Amino acid sequence: MSFYIGREASKLWKRFCAETTTEINLLAENWKYLLAGVFFQYLHGLAAHGVHYIHRPGPTLQDLGFMLLPELGQDKAYISESLFSFIFLSFVLWTFHPFIFKSKKIYTVHIWCRVLSFLVASQALRIVTFYATQLPGPNYHCREGSKLARLPRPDSIVEVLLINFPHGVIYGCGDLIFSSHMIFTLVFVLTYHRYGTRRCIKQLGWFLAVCQSLLIVASRKHYSVDVVVAWYTVNLVVFFVEKKLPELPDRTNIAATMLLPLSTKDKDERTKEENHKLLNGNSIVDPADWRQRTQANGKIMEDGHVHHADTAMNGA
């Protein structure tokens, strides 16, 4: 048993090292795109923090989702955040599965370049949208009477640039249309739907995306319009951005070509080709192995080398 565990651990380590080498080479080629995408996440947070300074609390707007879904309350607001954290962490772990599993379809660097491009395009539209119109926040800390609903004038530009992390991110107001949580959720689900391999996980992903939408409205973190706009905007963004980006290499096809034996169909075609050659009197030896042979005075000349032919049997 210990021998088996040691052997499998050795294989896993070799696979991890080989994958690390491959991903480092890809990172050296694509680090600029990844860095730009990560930096834009900061710009998006900065924009969301900036709109909080101009947020004005007011009466909660009439909303169909608020009428249909019962309010969870402040004590149960963690439910939607817990589900989002599960979706986020699950997707991140999946993107790194090529380092562990033998069967793989994606490269980690390539998939994150694609994910960040989807996020950047969606978040850029979101910034323009929530700065165009500020709605009174429906969340509890954004309502009238809350001390967190409005931010005091900043004392310096540094205070704005630091965005009061993480308090300023958790208790933000004014960045409503459209939901940032749904941007991440839908980008992750759409990416796995395109590049994942397990059908049951794809179906589970869409189910969780619907649950996340309902929980966001039930927690009163967003209006229903914020969630609805996110659903069609992110899907359209991913659709059009995907068409502009080059196709990702499919590692399953490469592995199948290198590792898997010939299929029954390929074997039948190869057998038919060999039989056809034999019927026509042709050799089935690879032409690359053909060598010129000539015979003279009982000797066989082969590529300039002389070999004596067998002219006697049983010592005769």
Catalytic residue among 44, 75, 181, 286: 181
CA gap 113, 100 in Å, rounded: 20
Contact 191, 114 (CB under 8 A): yes
266 included as an active-site residue: no
Token code pair at residue 205: 């992903």
Token code pair at residue 56: 């004005």
- Within 10 angstroms of residue 219's Cβ, the number of other Cβ atoms is 22
Catalytic residue among 222, 266, 305, 308: 222
52 included as an active-site residue: no
Stated length of the chain = 316
Contact 300, 307 (CB under 8 A): yes
Catalytic residue among 155, 226, 266, 268: 226
Short-list 192, 9, 236, CA closest to 100: 9
User: H helices within 53-141, ranges in order?
Assistant: 64-68, 78-95, 108-132
DSSP class of residue 164 equals T
226 included as an active-site residue: yes
Question: For residue 85, what are the CA distances in angstroms to 48, 81, 203?
Answer: 20, 6, 18
Token code pair at residue 158: 């540094």
Token code pair at residue 171: 């208790």
φ and ψ at residue 307, rounded to 5 degrees: -135, 140
CA gap 198, 194 in Å, rounded: 11
Short-list 196, 214, 217, CA closest to 205: 196
Q: CA end-to-end span of the chain, whole Å?
A: 61
List the beta strands (DSSP E) in the chain.
293-296, 299-302, 305-308
| Single-letter amino acid code for the residue at 68 | L
Task: Tell me the catalytic residues.
Answer: 181, 222, 226
